Amino acid sequence: MLVLGRREQETINIYTSDGDIEIMVTRIHDNQVKIGITAPDDVEIVRGELEE
């Protein structure tokens, strides 16, 4: 697992052969972090707790 520290409005970019994925920290408040994800339409994004 790769662990990266980010501040608000900083991004992480993942480059794949099928298209690029961008993850942005949009807000940090108390103990909650909100992120935005930009990805190709065919990429399925699911919260981990919904897969259990």
Strands (E), 1-52: 11-16, 19-29, 32-38
Whether 26 maps to a domain, the answer reads yes
> To the nearest 10°, the Cα dihedral for 46, 49, 50, 52?
120
Whether 46 maps to a domain, the answer reads no
In angstroms, the CA 36 to CA 27 distance is 9
Domain that holds residue 32: 1-41
pTM: 0.84
Give the total number of structural domains in the chain. Answer: 1
Q: Encode the chain (52 residues) as per-residue pLDDT tens digits.
A: 999 999 999 999 999 998 999 999 999 999 999 999 999 999 999 999 998 7
